[in-house]
Amino acid sequence: MDHILRTASSIYSLISGPSNPSTARELLEKASLFIQIVEASPCAPHLPRYDTNVVKLQINDLEREAAEAGLPLTITNYFTIVLRKMVEQVLQIFCKIITRYLTECGNKDRLVLIALEHLIHLTLFGDELCLEAIQVVSFAKSFLGS
């Protein structure tokens, strides 16, 4: 989870920053690393395969086109959109897992602090993840009758 959060933070920073050939190369490397980490995760069967495959194809296409044209690597808007979508979907799933864990665990559980730290980090990614966490907690409370 730490690696996924750190890599997602790097990807978001690179996407929102100025684009040049070195940041484009770094973004492709971080995207590839993110995919490797996600695919190695025990949650891999529940994660978005289609979007992951689209991002992989886009990485290969961008690298191939730059090499064939002999031009510096550039990032397309389409790649940025599908990459951001893939990262957000993965983070939403982890947000659901963490909030569900937090609603079911006891106060003495030693993983509570780590889970809270990860949840705070996740909610910094944007409003959608904050809403996801609130919805899961609200559902759990109504389901459990708390």
137 has pLDDT over 80: no
> In the chain, what are the domain boundaries?
2-144
User: Which residue has better confidence, 109 or 4?
Assistant: 4
* CB neighbour class for 64 (10 Å; exposed up to 12, middle 13-18, buried from 19): exposed
What's the gap between Cα 125 and its chain centre?
A: 9
Q: Report the range of poorest mean pLDDT among 49-53, 60-64, 112-116, 136-140.
A: 136-140
Q: With bands split at pLDDT 50, 70 and 90, how would you rate the model's confidence at 24?
A: very high
pTM: 0.79
User: Which residue has better confidence, 50 or 125?
Assistant: 50
d(CA 123, CA 54): 26
Contacts of 87 (CB under 8 A, 6+ apart): 8, 11, 12, 34
Q: What is the pLDDT of residue 141?
A: 54
71-111 confidence digits (pLDDT tens):
888 899 999 999 999 988 888 888 788 777 877 777 777 77
30-76 confidence digits (pLDDT tens):
999 999 999 998 878 888 788 899 999 999 999 999 999 988 888 99
d(CA 55, CA 50): 9
Q: What average pLDDT does range 7-18 have in this prediction? A: 86
